[in-house]
Chains A and B, each alone.
Chain A
Protein backbone atom coordinates (compact mmCIF):
# COMPACT_ATOMS: atom_id res chain seq x y z
CA UNK A 1 0.00 0.00 0.00
CA UNK A 2 1.29 3.45 -0.86
CA UNK A 3 -0.62 6.53 0.11
CA UNK A 4 0.50 9.72 -1.54
CA UNK A 5 -0.81 13.22 -1.25
CA UNK A 6 -0.61 16.00 -3.81
CA UNK A 7 1.96 18.71 -3.21
CA UNK A 8 0.88 21.56 -0.98
CA UNK A 9 -0.05 24.80 -2.64
CA UNK A 10 2.99 26.86 -3.47
CA UNK A 11 4.13 29.80 -1.44
CA UNK A 12 4.72 33.30 -2.77
CA UNK A 13 7.94 34.83 -4.02
CA UNK A 14 8.35 36.71 -0.74
CA UNK A 15 8.24 33.50 1.29
CA UNK A 16 11.09 33.09 3.74
CA UNK A 17 13.91 30.92 2.38
CA UNK A 18 15.05 29.62 5.74
CA UNK A 19 13.99 29.67 9.40
CA UNK A 20 16.19 32.74 9.99
CA UNK A 21 13.96 34.75 7.66
CA UNK A 22 10.67 33.74 9.30
CA UNK A 23 10.28 37.05 11.14
CA UNK A 24 10.96 39.16 8.04
CA UNK A 25 7.43 39.04 6.68
CA UNK A 26 5.35 41.95 7.87
CA UNK A 27 2.33 40.85 9.88
CA UNK A 28 0.78 44.30 10.12
CA UNK A 29 1.29 47.02 12.70
CA UNK A 30 1.21 45.93 16.32
CA UNK A 31 0.48 42.29 15.49
CA UNK A 32 1.07 40.11 18.55
CA UNK A 33 3.99 37.78 17.82
CA UNK A 34 4.79 36.05 21.07
CA UNK A 35 3.37 35.95 24.59
CA UNK A 36 3.82 34.20 27.91
CA UNK A 37 1.72 34.62 31.08
CA UNK A 38 3.52 37.83 31.99
CA UNK A 39 4.83 39.50 28.84
CA UNK A 40 4.37 39.83 25.12
CA UNK A 41 6.08 41.26 22.04
CA UNK A 42 4.70 42.41 18.72
CA UNK A 43 6.28 41.28 15.45
CA UNK A 44 8.54 44.31 15.26
CA UNK A 45 9.71 43.88 18.85
CA UNK A 46 10.40 40.17 18.36
CA UNK A 47 12.34 40.80 15.15
CA UNK A 48 14.40 43.51 16.81
CA UNK A 49 15.28 41.42 19.88
CA UNK A 50 16.09 38.33 17.82
CA UNK A 51 18.34 40.54 15.69
CA UNK A 52 20.08 41.75 18.84
CA UNK A 53 20.63 38.21 20.10
CA UNK A 54 22.03 37.32 16.66
CA UNK A 55 24.40 40.32 16.81
CA UNK A 56 25.75 39.31 20.22
CA UNK A 57 26.12 35.67 19.16
CA UNK A 58 28.15 36.69 16.10
CA UNK A 59 30.21 39.02 18.29
CA UNK A 60 31.01 36.06 20.53
CA UNK A 61 32.25 34.00 17.66
CA UNK A 62 29.18 32.04 16.62
CA UNK A 63 29.61 31.10 12.95
CA UNK A 64 27.07 29.58 10.56
CA UNK A 65 26.55 25.96 11.53
CA UNK A 66 27.70 26.39 15.13
CA UNK A 67 25.39 24.81 17.68
CA UNK A 68 23.88 27.05 20.35
CA UNK A 69 22.15 25.52 23.37
CA UNK A 70 18.84 26.89 24.65
CA UNK A 71 18.45 26.17 28.36
CA UNK A 72 15.34 28.20 29.14
CA UNK A 73 11.84 27.75 30.47
CA UNK A 74 9.29 28.27 27.69
CA UNK A 75 8.72 32.03 27.59
CA UNK A 76 8.97 35.11 25.40
CA UNK A 77 12.78 34.88 25.81
CA UNK A 78 12.71 31.38 24.36
CA UNK A 79 11.21 32.62 21.09
CA UNK A 80 13.68 35.53 21.02
CA UNK A 81 16.62 33.19 21.70
CA UNK A 82 15.65 30.56 19.12
CA UNK A 83 15.14 33.11 16.35
CA UNK A 84 18.30 34.94 17.40
CA UNK A 85 20.32 31.77 16.90
CA UNK A 86 18.69 31.09 13.52
CA UNK A 87 19.27 34.66 12.29
CA UNK A 88 22.96 34.23 13.13
CA UNK A 89 22.97 31.06 11.02
CA UNK A 90 23.47 28.95 14.12
CA UNK A 91 21.90 25.59 14.93
CA UNK A 92 19.36 25.56 17.76
CA UNK A 93 19.83 22.88 20.41
CA UNK A 94 16.85 22.94 22.81
CA UNK A 95 17.63 21.43 26.21
CA UNK A 96 15.55 20.38 29.18
CA UNK A 97 16.21 23.09 31.78
CA UNK A 98 15.28 20.65 34.52
CA UNK A 99 16.70 17.48 33.02
CA UNK A 100 19.47 15.59 34.80
CA UNK A 101 22.84 17.34 34.45
CA UNK A 102 24.36 14.07 33.26
CA UNK A 103 21.92 13.99 30.36
CA UNK A 104 22.12 17.68 29.43
CA UNK A 105 25.92 17.56 29.65
CA UNK A 106 26.05 14.52 27.36
CA UNK A 107 23.89 16.30 24.77
CA UNK A 108 26.03 19.45 24.87
CA UNK A 109 29.19 17.39 24.44
CA UNK A 110 27.67 15.27 21.69
CA UNK A 111 27.18 18.21 19.33
CA UNK A 112 29.92 20.37 20.84
CA UNK A 113 27.96 23.38 22.08
CA UNK A 114 30.21 26.30 23.07
CA UNK A 115 27.56 28.98 23.51
CA UNK A 116 24.50 28.56 25.71
CA UNK A 117 21.50 30.83 26.15
CA UNK A 118 20.56 30.02 29.69
CA UNK A 119 18.19 30.71 32.54
CA UNK A 120 17.43 29.03 35.84
CA UNK A 121 19.38 29.06 39.07
CA UNK A 122 23.07 30.02 39.15
CA UNK A 123 23.76 26.65 40.72
CA UNK A 124 22.09 24.76 37.90
CA UNK A 125 23.84 26.78 35.17
CA UNK A 126 27.21 26.28 36.84
CA UNK A 127 26.64 22.52 36.84
CA UNK A 128 25.62 22.56 33.15
CA UNK A 129 28.69 24.57 32.16
CA UNK A 130 30.90 22.29 34.22
CA UNK A 131 29.56 19.21 32.42
CA UNK A 132 29.92 20.66 28.91
CA UNK A 133 32.23 22.47 26.47
CA UNK A 134 30.26 25.72 26.99
CA UNK A 135 32.44 28.84 27.31
CA UNK A 136 29.89 31.62 26.78
CA UNK A 137 26.54 31.95 28.55
CA UNK A 138 23.95 34.48 27.38
CA UNK A 139 21.32 35.42 29.92
CA UNK A 140 22.76 35.13 33.42
CA UNK A 141 23.82 38.29 35.22
CA UNK A 142 26.97 36.66 36.49
CA UNK A 143 29.11 34.14 34.71
CA UNK A 144 29.05 30.57 35.89
CA UNK A 145 32.64 29.52 36.65
CA UNK A 146 34.40 28.66 33.40
CA UNK A 147 32.18 30.73 31.12
CA UNK A 148 31.87 34.37 30.10
CA UNK A 149 28.41 35.80 30.82
CA UNK A 150 26.37 38.29 28.80
CA UNK A 151 23.33 39.47 30.80
CA UNK A 152 20.01 40.01 29.01
CA UNK A 153 20.25 43.71 29.85
CA UNK A 154 23.46 43.98 27.79
CA UNK A 155 21.79 42.30 24.84
CA UNK A 156 19.16 45.00 24.48
CA UNK A 157 21.85 47.61 23.79
CA UNK A 158 23.15 45.78 20.72
CA UNK A 159 22.38 46.81 17.14
CA UNK A 160 20.22 44.14 15.51
CA UNK A 161 21.66 42.31 12.50
CA UNK A 162 19.69 41.07 9.49
CA UNK A 163 19.24 37.33 9.11
CA UNK A 164 21.88 35.22 7.44
CA UNK A 165 20.33 33.22 4.60
CA UNK A 166 20.96 29.56 5.32
CA UNK A 167 20.97 26.93 2.58
CA UNK A 168 18.09 24.43 2.61
CA UNK A 169 20.41 21.51 3.41
CA UNK A 170 22.10 23.23 6.36
CA UNK A 171 21.12 22.04 9.85
CA UNK A 172 18.60 24.29 11.65
CA UNK A 173 18.07 22.49 14.92
CA UNK A 174 19.01 19.34 16.81
CA UNK A 175 16.46 17.72 19.13
CA UNK A 176 17.73 15.00 21.44
CA UNK A 177 16.07 11.73 22.18
CA UNK A 178 17.39 8.98 24.40
CA UNK A 179 18.57 5.92 22.58
CA UNK A 180 18.22 2.42 24.00
CA UNK A 181 21.98 2.32 24.57
CA UNK A 182 22.00 5.43 26.72
CA UNK A 183 23.97 7.48 24.16
CA UNK A 184 21.89 10.52 23.22
CA UNK A 185 20.63 10.68 19.65
CA UNK A 186 20.49 14.18 18.17
CA UNK A 187 17.77 14.42 15.53
CA UNK A 188 19.04 16.89 12.93
CA UNK A 189 16.47 18.90 11.01
CA UNK A 190 17.57 21.09 8.15
CA UNK A 191 16.11 24.43 7.08
CA UNK A 192 14.38 22.49 4.27
CA UNK A 193 12.71 19.90 6.53
CA UNK A 194 11.79 22.50 9.16
CA UNK A 195 10.39 24.96 6.62
CA UNK A 196 8.41 22.16 4.97
CA UNK A 197 6.96 21.24 8.36
CA UNK A 198 6.06 24.86 9.13
CA UNK A 199 4.39 25.24 5.73
CA UNK A 200 2.49 21.94 5.79
CA UNK A 201 1.26 22.33 9.36
CA UNK A 202 0.18 25.93 8.75
CA UNK A 203 -1.71 24.70 5.70
CA UNK A 204 -3.21 21.58 7.32
CA UNK A 205 -4.65 23.62 10.18
CA UNK A 206 -5.38 26.72 8.12
CA UNK A 207 -3.36 29.00 10.41
CA UNK A 208 -3.98 32.70 9.91
CA UNK A 209 -2.48 35.93 11.21
CA UNK A 210 -5.05 36.32 13.95
CA UNK A 211 -4.38 32.90 15.47
CA UNK A 212 -2.87 32.54 18.92
CA UNK A 213 -1.04 29.22 18.91
CA UNK A 214 -0.24 27.54 22.21
CA UNK A 215 2.02 24.53 22.07
CA UNK A 216 1.76 23.33 25.64
CA UNK A 217 4.82 21.17 25.89
CA UNK A 218 8.42 21.82 26.87
CA UNK A 219 10.82 23.36 24.37
CA UNK A 220 12.96 20.22 24.03
CA UNK A 221 9.85 18.27 22.99
CA UNK A 222 9.42 18.35 19.20
CA UNK A 223 5.82 19.63 19.38
CA UNK A 224 7.28 23.06 20.21
CA UNK A 225 8.33 23.51 16.56
CA UNK A 226 4.68 24.23 15.74
CA UNK A 227 4.73 27.44 17.79
CA UNK A 228 8.35 28.29 17.03
CA UNK A 229 8.13 28.04 13.23
CA UNK A 230 4.60 27.48 11.90
CA UNK A 231 3.06 30.40 13.84
CA UNK A 232 5.54 33.07 12.64
CA UNK A 233 5.36 31.75 9.06
CA UNK A 234 1.81 33.09 8.80
CA UNK A 235 2.25 36.00 11.22
CA UNK A 236 0.27 34.30 14.00
CA UNK A 237 1.15 34.69 17.67
CA UNK A 238 2.85 31.98 19.73
CA UNK A 239 1.94 31.53 23.38
CA UNK A 240 4.56 29.91 25.62
CA UNK A 241 3.95 28.81 29.19
CA UNK A 242 6.54 27.75 31.76
CA UNK A 243 6.69 24.10 32.69
CA UNK A 244 5.34 24.85 36.19
CA UNK A 245 2.06 25.95 34.65
CA UNK A 246 1.62 22.57 32.96
CA UNK A 247 1.36 21.06 36.46
CA UNK A 248 -1.58 23.30 37.43
CA UNK A 249 -4.41 22.76 34.95
CA UNK A 250 -6.60 25.47 36.53
CA UNK A 251 -3.80 28.03 36.20
CA UNK A 252 -3.01 26.83 32.69
CA UNK A 253 -6.58 27.12 31.41
CA UNK A 254 -6.77 30.62 32.91
CA UNK A 255 -3.73 31.78 30.90
CA UNK A 256 -4.99 30.03 27.76
CA UNK A 257 -8.35 31.81 28.14
CA UNK A 258 -6.85 35.21 29.03
CA UNK A 259 -4.62 35.16 25.94
CA UNK A 260 -7.53 34.33 23.59
CA UNK A 261 -5.83 31.13 22.46
CA UNK A 262 -7.22 29.76 19.19
CA UNK A 263 -5.06 26.64 18.76
CA UNK A 264 -4.10 24.25 21.58
CA UNK A 265 -1.45 21.62 20.85
CA UNK A 266 -0.33 19.18 23.53
CA UNK A 267 -0.14 15.57 24.60
CA UNK A 268 -3.48 13.95 25.55
CA UNK A 269 -2.43 13.76 29.21
CA UNK A 270 -2.49 17.52 29.54
CA UNK A 271 -5.92 17.74 27.95
CA UNK A 272 -7.22 15.09 30.34
CA UNK A 273 -5.80 17.10 33.25
CA UNK A 274 -7.52 20.21 31.90
CA UNK A 275 -10.77 18.27 31.61
CA UNK A 276 -10.55 16.86 35.13
CA UNK A 277 -8.92 19.69 37.05
CA UNK A 278 -8.88 22.69 34.72
CA UNK A 279 -12.03 24.36 36.07
CA UNK A 280 -13.26 24.50 32.46
CA UNK A 281 -16.77 25.47 33.59
CA UNK A 282 -15.29 28.74 34.87
CA UNK A 283 -13.12 29.52 31.81
CA UNK A 284 -14.03 31.26 28.57
CA UNK A 285 -12.32 29.21 25.87
CA UNK A 286 -14.69 30.31 23.12
CA UNK A 287 -11.80 31.51 20.93
CA UNK A 288 -10.40 27.98 20.75
CA UNK A 289 -10.97 26.61 17.23
CA UNK A 290 -8.44 23.76 17.08
CA UNK A 291 -7.30 21.19 19.60
CA UNK A 292 -4.36 19.22 18.27
CA UNK A 293 -3.05 16.29 20.21
CA UNK A 294 -0.12 14.00 19.57
CA UNK A 295 2.65 11.98 21.15
CA UNK A 296 0.35 9.17 22.24
CA UNK A 297 -3.18 7.82 21.92
CA UNK A 298 -6.16 9.60 23.45
CA UNK A 299 -8.63 7.32 25.27
CA UNK A 300 -11.81 7.62 23.13
CA UNK A 301 -14.18 8.05 26.09
CA UNK A 302 -12.11 10.90 27.53
CA UNK A 303 -11.76 12.56 24.15
CA UNK A 304 -15.54 12.39 23.70
CA UNK A 305 -15.96 14.00 27.10
CA UNK A 306 -13.52 16.78 26.21
CA UNK A 307 -15.24 17.45 22.89
CA UNK A 308 -18.61 17.68 24.62
CA UNK A 309 -17.10 20.24 26.99
CA UNK A 310 -15.48 22.31 24.22
CA UNK A 311 -17.93 22.00 21.31
CA UNK A 312 -16.51 25.01 19.45
CA UNK A 313 -13.12 23.43 18.85
CA UNK A 314 -12.25 20.95 16.10
CA UNK A 315 -9.96 18.14 17.12
CA UNK A 316 -7.11 16.63 15.14
CA UNK A 317 -4.89 13.67 15.97
CA UNK A 318 -1.31 14.51 14.97
CA UNK A 319 1.07 11.67 14.24
CA UNK A 320 4.76 11.61 13.45
CA UNK A 321 7.95 10.75 15.31
CA UNK A 322 10.31 13.68 15.94
CA UNK A 323 12.49 12.29 13.13
CA UNK A 324 9.86 13.35 10.57
CA UNK A 325 8.04 16.10 12.52
CA UNK A 326 4.57 15.08 11.40
CA UNK A 327 3.44 12.75 8.65
CA UNK A 328 -0.26 11.97 9.15
CA UNK A 329 -3.31 13.68 10.60
CA UNK A 330 -6.85 12.72 11.42
CA UNK A 331 -9.43 15.45 11.85
CA UNK A 332 -12.35 14.17 13.93
CA UNK A 333 -15.79 14.81 12.46
CA UNK A 334 -17.38 14.27 15.84
CA UNK A 335 -16.73 12.68 19.22
CA UNK A 336 -15.46 9.11 18.98
CA UNK A 337 -18.03 6.51 19.90
CA UNK A 338 -17.26 3.25 21.63
CA UNK A 339 -13.77 2.04 22.38
CA UNK A 340 -12.40 2.06 18.83
CA UNK A 341 -9.03 3.82 18.84
CA UNK A 342 -8.93 7.15 16.99
CA UNK A 343 -7.00 6.65 13.73
CA UNK A 344 -3.68 8.43 13.16
CA UNK A 345 -5.23 9.15 9.80
CA UNK A 346 -3.70 9.69 6.40
CA UNK A 347 -0.46 10.97 4.97
CA UNK A 348 -0.31 14.71 4.75
CA UNK A 349 0.93 16.44 1.56
CA UNK A 350 4.29 15.62 -0.04
CA UNK A 351 4.46 12.44 1.99
CA UNK A 352 4.32 8.74 1.21
CA UNK A 353 3.55 6.05 3.72
CA UNK A 354 3.90 2.32 3.44
CA UNK A 355 3.20 -0.49 5.90
CA UNK A 356 5.66 -3.34 5.56
CA UNK A 357 6.25 -6.83 6.96
CA UNK A 358 9.59 -7.65 8.64
CA UNK A 359 10.89 -8.86 5.24
CA UNK A 360 10.26 -5.38 3.78
CA UNK A 361 7.30 -6.46 1.64
CA UNK A 362 4.20 -4.26 1.76
CA UNK A 363 1.37 -5.81 3.78
CA UNK A 364 -2.17 -6.05 2.39
CA UNK A 365 -4.78 -3.64 3.70
CA UNK A 366 -6.09 -4.79 7.07
CA UNK A 367 -2.82 -6.41 8.15
CA UNK A 368 -0.31 -5.06 10.63
CA UNK A 369 2.96 -3.66 9.30
CA UNK A 370 5.76 -1.31 10.33
CA UNK A 371 5.05 2.24 9.22
CA UNK A 372 7.68 3.60 6.81
CA UNK A 373 7.58 7.20 5.69
CA UNK A 374 9.23 9.15 2.90
CA UNK A 375 8.61 12.86 3.34
CA UNK A 376 9.95 16.36 2.82
CA UNK A 377 9.78 16.90 6.58
CA UNK A 378 12.19 14.05 7.43
CA UNK A 379 15.38 14.66 9.40
CA UNK A 380 18.78 14.67 7.73
CA UNK A 381 19.94 12.06 10.25
CA UNK A 382 21.29 11.73 13.79
CA UNK A 383 24.09 14.10 14.73
CA UNK A 384 27.45 12.50 14.11
CA UNK A 385 26.07 8.95 14.07
CA UNK A 386 26.11 7.75 10.44
CA UNK A 387 25.60 4.08 11.34
CA UNK A 388 22.57 4.77 13.50
CA UNK A 389 21.22 7.04 10.76
CA UNK A 390 21.69 4.37 8.10
CA UNK A 391 19.90 1.85 10.30
CA UNK A 392 16.95 4.23 10.71
CA UNK A 393 16.25 4.53 6.99
CA UNK A 394 15.29 1.94 4.38
CA UNK A 395 16.20 2.60 0.75
CA UNK A 396 13.30 1.64 -1.45
CA UNK A 397 11.36 3.00 -4.41
CA UNK A 398 9.14 6.02 -3.92
CA UNK A 399 5.93 6.78 -5.81
CA UNK A 400 7.84 7.64 -9.02
CA UNK A 401 9.95 4.48 -8.89
CA UNK A 402 13.18 6.20 -7.84
CA UNK A 403 14.93 4.72 -4.80
CA UNK A 404 14.64 7.13 -1.88
CA UNK A 405 15.19 7.01 1.90
CA UNK A 406 12.19 5.95 3.98
CA UNK A 407 12.30 6.48 7.72
CA UNK A 408 11.39 3.28 9.58
CA UNK A 409 9.31 4.52 12.51
CA UNK A 410 9.27 1.33 14.56
CA UNK A 411 5.55 1.94 14.92
CA UNK A 412 3.13 -0.79 13.92
CA UNK A 413 -0.05 0.24 12.16
CA UNK A 414 -2.92 -1.19 10.20
CA UNK A 415 -4.88 0.32 7.33
CA UNK A 416 -8.64 0.32 7.77
CA UNK A 417 -11.03 -0.34 4.90
CA UNK A 418 -11.60 3.42 4.57
CA UNK A 419 -7.86 4.03 4.12
CA UNK A 420 -7.30 5.49 7.58
CA UNK A 421 -4.26 4.23 9.47
CA UNK A 422 -4.54 2.99 13.05
CA UNK A 423 -1.57 2.74 15.42
CA UNK A 424 -1.38 -0.68 17.09
CA UNK A 425 2.00 -0.84 18.86
CA UNK A 426 5.78 -0.88 18.58
CA UNK A 427 8.31 -3.23 17.06
CA UNK A 428 10.57 -2.62 20.08
CA UNK A 429 10.43 -1.58 23.74
CA UNK A 430 9.97 2.12 23.16
CA UNK A 431 6.97 3.37 25.13
CA UNK A 432 5.28 6.72 25.62
CA UNK A 433 4.94 8.25 29.06
CA UNK A 434 2.91 11.46 29.04
CA UNK A 435 3.91 11.78 25.37
CA UNK A 436 7.63 11.36 25.98
CA UNK A 437 9.55 8.55 24.33
CA UNK A 438 11.18 6.16 26.74
CA UNK A 439 13.33 3.24 25.69
CA UNK A 440 12.62 0.79 28.49
CA UNK A 441 16.04 -0.88 28.04
CA UNK A 442 17.73 2.37 29.07
CA UNK A 443 15.70 2.34 32.31
CA UNK A 444 16.53 -1.37 32.86
CA UNK A 445 20.21 -0.50 32.50
CA UNK A 446 20.03 2.14 35.23
CA UNK A 447 17.97 -0.12 37.51
CA UNK A 448 20.52 -2.92 37.52
CA UNK A 449 23.27 -0.46 38.42
CA UNK A 450 21.57 0.43 41.70
CA UNK A 451 23.13 -0.78 44.94
CA UNK A 452 21.74 -4.14 46.00
CA UNK A 453 19.88 -4.87 42.76
CA UNK A 454 20.47 -8.27 41.20
CA UNK A 455 17.93 -8.22 38.41
CA UNK A 456 15.40 -5.64 37.30
CA UNK A 457 12.98 -4.66 34.59
CA UNK A 458 10.98 -1.53 33.85
CA UNK A 459 7.33 -1.70 32.81
CA UNK A 460 4.72 0.90 31.92
CA UNK A 461 1.41 0.78 33.79
CA UNK A 462 -1.66 2.99 33.86
CA UNK A 463 -2.82 5.16 31.01
CA UNK A 464 -6.20 6.75 30.17
CA UNK A 465 -7.72 8.09 33.44
CA UNK A 466 -4.55 7.50 35.39
CA UNK A 467 -1.29 8.87 33.97
CA UNK A 468 0.87 6.23 32.39
CA UNK A 469 3.91 5.73 34.58
CA UNK A 470 6.95 3.54 34.80
CA UNK A 471 7.35 1.00 37.55
CA UNK A 472 10.60 -0.79 38.27
CA UNK A 473 10.48 -4.39 39.42
CA UNK A 474 13.63 -5.43 41.22
CA UNK A 475 15.12 -8.53 42.75
CA UNK A 476 17.31 -7.01 45.40
CA UNK A 477 19.34 -7.74 48.51
CA UNK A 478 18.69 -6.21 51.95
CA UNK A 479 21.08 -3.38 51.04
CA UNK A 480 18.54 -1.99 48.56
CA UNK A 481 16.93 1.30 49.61
CA UNK A 482 14.04 2.34 47.31
CA UNK A 483 14.06 6.01 48.35
CA UNK A 484 17.79 6.41 47.81
CA UNK A 485 17.44 4.41 44.59
CA UNK A 486 14.84 6.78 43.16
CA UNK A 487 17.07 9.73 44.01
CA UNK A 488 19.93 8.10 42.16
CA UNK A 489 17.67 7.46 39.16
CA UNK A 490 16.47 11.08 39.16
CA UNK A 491 20.08 12.11 38.71
CA UNK A 492 20.53 10.10 35.52
CA UNK A 493 17.09 9.81 33.91
CA UNK A 494 14.66 12.53 32.82
CA UNK A 495 11.71 12.96 35.20
CA UNK A 496 9.18 11.10 33.06
CA UNK A 497 11.51 8.07 32.84
CA UNK A 498 12.13 7.80 36.59
CA UNK A 499 10.02 4.90 37.91
CA UNK A 500 7.27 6.26 40.15
CA UNK A 501 7.57 3.10 42.18
CA UNK A 502 10.19 0.44 42.77
CA UNK A 503 8.66 -2.85 43.73
CA UNK A 504 10.72 -5.60 45.26
CA UNK A 505 9.86 -9.03 43.91
CA UNK A 506 11.16 -12.49 44.73
CA UNK A 507 11.27 -13.60 41.13
CA UNK A 508 10.66 -12.31 37.60
CA UNK A 509 8.84 -14.28 34.89
CA UNK A 510 10.91 -15.35 31.91
CA UNK A 511 10.12 -16.07 28.29
CA UNK A 512 10.78 -19.35 26.51
CA UNK A 513 14.22 -18.01 25.54
CA UNK A 514 15.09 -17.24 29.16
CA UNK A 515 14.81 -13.45 28.92
CA UNK A 516 12.77 -11.51 31.43
CA UNK A 517 9.17 -11.36 30.20
CA UNK A 518 8.25 -7.69 30.30
CA UNK A 519 4.58 -8.25 29.65
CA UNK A 520 4.37 -10.93 32.33
CA UNK A 521 6.31 -8.74 34.74
CA UNK A 522 3.80 -5.92 34.32
CA UNK A 523 1.15 -8.21 35.80
CA UNK A 524 3.10 -8.21 39.08
CA UNK A 525 2.25 -4.53 39.60
CA UNK A 526 -0.75 -4.23 41.89
CA UNK A 527 -3.68 -2.13 40.64
CA UNK A 528 -3.84 1.33 42.12
CA UNK A 529 -6.41 4.07 41.92
CA UNK A 530 -3.94 6.88 42.25
CA UNK A 531 -0.22 7.39 41.95
CA UNK A 532 1.42 6.15 45.11
CA UNK A 533 4.49 7.14 47.01
CA UNK A 534 7.63 5.09 46.73
CA UNK A 535 7.92 2.11 49.01
CA UNK A 536 10.25 2.65 51.87
Chain B
Protein backbone atom coordinates (compact mmCIF):
# COMPACT_ATOMS: atom_id res chain seq x y z
CA UNK B 1 0.00 0.00 0.00
CA UNK B 2 2.73 2.49 0.88
CA UNK B 3 4.55 1.66 -2.37
CA UNK B 4 1.37 2.48 -4.08
CA UNK B 5 1.09 5.88 -2.45
CA UNK B 6 4.76 6.62 -3.08
CA UNK B 7 4.18 6.57 -6.81
CA UNK B 8 0.88 8.43 -6.50
CA UNK B 9 2.47 11.87 -6.77
CA UNK B 10 4.18 11.05 -10.07
CA UNK B 11 1.08 9.40 -11.46
CA UNK B 12 -1.05 12.37 -10.45
CA UNK B 13 1.37 14.82 -12.03
CA UNK B 14 1.13 12.89 -15.28
CA UNK B 15 -2.67 12.76 -15.12
CA UNK B 16 -3.02 16.44 -14.26
CA UNK B 17 -0.61 17.21 -17.10
CA UNK B 18 -3.17 15.74 -19.47
CA UNK B 19 -6.02 17.67 -17.89
CA UNK B 20 -4.27 21.02 -18.02
CA UNK B 21 -4.89 22.69 -21.30
CA UNK B 22 -2.16 25.29 -21.37
CA UNK B 23 1.40 24.57 -22.41
CA UNK B 24 2.83 27.82 -21.14
CA UNK B 25 1.86 27.48 -17.45
CA UNK B 26 4.47 25.18 -15.92
CA UNK B 27 3.28 23.30 -12.86
CA UNK B 28 4.60 21.00 -10.15
CA UNK B 29 3.20 19.26 -7.09
CA UNK B 30 2.75 22.58 -5.28
CA UNK B 31 1.10 24.55 -8.08
CA UNK B 32 -2.32 25.89 -7.11
CA UNK B 33 -4.36 24.16 -9.78
CA UNK B 34 -7.42 26.27 -9.09
CA UNK B 35 -5.94 29.74 -9.06
CA UNK B 36 -5.56 30.36 -12.76
CA UNK B 37 -8.20 27.88 -13.76
CA UNK B 38 -5.73 25.19 -14.79
CA UNK B 39 -8.33 22.61 -13.84
CA UNK B 40 -12.01 23.34 -14.51
CA UNK B 41 -15.14 21.77 -13.02
CA UNK B 42 -15.09 18.86 -15.41
CA UNK B 43 -11.42 18.38 -14.58
CA UNK B 44 -12.30 18.09 -10.90
CA UNK B 45 -14.83 15.35 -11.66
CA UNK B 46 -12.23 13.53 -13.73
CA UNK B 47 -9.67 13.88 -10.94
CA UNK B 48 -12.08 12.41 -8.42
CA UNK B 49 -12.93 9.49 -10.72
CA UNK B 50 -9.25 8.87 -11.36
CA UNK B 51 -8.36 8.95 -7.65
CA UNK B 52 -11.25 6.61 -6.81
CA UNK B 53 -10.02 4.12 -9.40
CA UNK B 54 -6.41 4.49 -8.27
CA UNK B 55 -7.21 4.11 -4.55
CA UNK B 56 -9.80 1.44 -5.19
CA UNK B 57 -12.31 3.19 -2.95
CA UNK B 58 -15.12 5.66 -3.20
CA UNK B 59 -14.54 9.27 -2.11
CA UNK B 60 -17.36 10.85 -0.12
CA UNK B 61 -18.74 14.09 -1.61
CA UNK B 62 -17.98 15.80 1.71
CA UNK B 63 -14.29 15.05 1.11
CA UNK B 64 -14.25 16.65 -2.33
CA UNK B 65 -13.38 20.07 -0.95
CA UNK B 66 -10.88 22.68 -2.10
CA UNK B 67 -8.36 21.96 0.66
CA UNK B 68 -8.02 18.33 -0.46
CA UNK B 69 -7.64 19.10 -4.17
CA UNK B 70 -5.84 22.43 -4.41
CA UNK B 71 -2.58 20.87 -5.59
CA UNK B 72 -1.08 17.49 -6.38
CA UNK B 73 0.61 17.58 -2.98
CA UNK B 74 -2.72 18.24 -1.25
CA UNK B 75 -4.27 15.28 -3.05
CA UNK B 76 -1.43 12.99 -2.01
CA UNK B 77 -1.75 14.17 1.61
CA UNK B 78 -5.47 13.51 1.46
CA UNK B 79 -4.86 9.97 0.12
CA UNK B 80 -2.31 9.31 2.90
CA UNK B 81 -4.73 10.50 5.59
CA UNK B 82 -7.40 8.20 4.25
CA UNK B 83 -4.98 5.27 4.14
CA UNK B 84 -3.81 5.84 7.72
CA UNK B 85 -7.30 6.19 9.14
CA UNK B 86 -8.41 3.14 7.17
CA UNK B 87 -11.38 5.00 5.75
Contact = CB atoms under 8 A, between A and B. Distances in A.
B46 to A, nearest CB: 6
Interface in B27-77: 34-37, 39-46, 49, 60-67, 69
A486 B21 contact: yes
Interface stretch (A60-68, A140-148, A206-214, A242-250): A242-250
A249 B61 contact: yes
A490 B22 contact: yes
A250 B65 contact: yes
A167 interface: no
A487 B23 CA distance: 7
Given A244-B66, A495-B37, A276 B46 contact: no
B17 to A, nearest CB: 10
Q: Which of B39, B40, B69 has the most CB of A within 10 A?
A: B40
A531 B42 CA distance: 7
B42 A469 contact: yes
A467 B65 CA distance: 20
Given A121-B36, A243-B37, A531 B46 contact: yes
Nearest to B18: A533
Contact of A500 (B23, B39, B42): B42
Given A467-B42, A498-B21, A533-B18, A244 B34 contact: yes
Given A98-B36, A531-B42, A491 B66 contact: no
Q: Which of B22, B41, B46 has the most CB of A within 10 A?
A: B41
A278 B64 CA distance: 9
A487 B17 CA distance: 12
Nearest to A280: B61
A124 interface: yes
Nearest to A273: B41
Chain A binding surface, main DSSP class: helix
Interface string A514-536: 00000000000000001101100
Contact of B22 (A245, A246, A250, A487): A487
A247 B61 contact: no
B69 to A, nearest CB: 7
A247 B35 CA distance: 12
Contacts of B23: 487
Contacts of B44: 247-248
Contacts of A500: 42
Contacts of B65: 248, 250-251, 254
B42 A248 contact: no
A385 interface: no
A249 B64 contact: yes
B61 A279 contact: yes
B62 A282 contact: yes
Interface string B1-37: 0000000000000000011011101000000001111
A483 interface: yes
Given A277-B61, A487-B22, A490-B21, A533 B46 contact: yes
A280 to B, nearest CB: 9
A491 B39 CA distance: 14
B36 to A, nearest CB: 6
A246 B41 contact: yes
12 contacts: A124-B36, A245-B66, A246-B41, A247-B40, A254-B65, A278-B61, A469-B42, A490-B22, A491-B22, A530-B49, A533-B18, A533-B46
Pick the 4 closest A-B CB pairs, nearest first. Answer: A98-B37, A244-B34, A490-B21, A279-B62
Interface of A: 98, 120-121, 123-124, 243-251, 254, 273, 276-279, 282, 434, 467, 469, 483, 486-487, 490-491, 495, 498, 500, 530-531, 533-534
